[in-house]
Amino acid sequence: VNASRAALPHLKASPEGRIVNVGANGALKAAAGMGAYAAAKSGVHRLTEALAEELKTTSVTVNAVLPSIIDTPANRKDMPDADPAAWVAPADLAAVILFLASPDSRAVTGALIPVTGRV
């Protein structure tokens, strides 16, 4: 919230302002033991939608990516029996974020985009 608030004057002055938030696919339907995480990420989802609505008359777009499990060393350590081949490669998540940050995404705002690999 604070980062968006601080950046908004600059984004509004830009012909192609972009906000890309990171939510979580796991917040769409919470799993057992994930209540606090899902609740926090649901807040990111609603903030994305609200800001997109508030800024729809400007050149600023607001979207979020909703990754599932990202293939990181920490996740591999925490889930040693899982199959990381099904997880989201960081480069694949970055590609979606780069699209949303680009001028090509000008028609997309308020979107919550799942990036789930094969999970």
Domain boundaries, the chain: 2-115
H or E element in which residue 41 lies: helix 35-54
In angstroms, the first-to-last Cα distance of the chain is: 29
Residue 81: predicted pLDDT: 97
| Residue 37 designated active-site | yes
| Residue 22, φ and ψ in degrees, nearest 5 | -115, 110
Each residue's pLDDT tens digit, 19-53: 999 999 999 999 999 999 999 999 999 999 999 99
Residue 15: predicted pLDDT: 95
- Which segments in the chain show pLDDT lower than 70? none
- Does CATH place domain 2-115 in 3.40.50.720? yes
Of 37, 47, 70, 111, the active-site residue reads 37
The amino acid sitting at 1 is: V
Residue 47: predicted pLDDT: 98
Residue 119: predicted pLDDT: 87
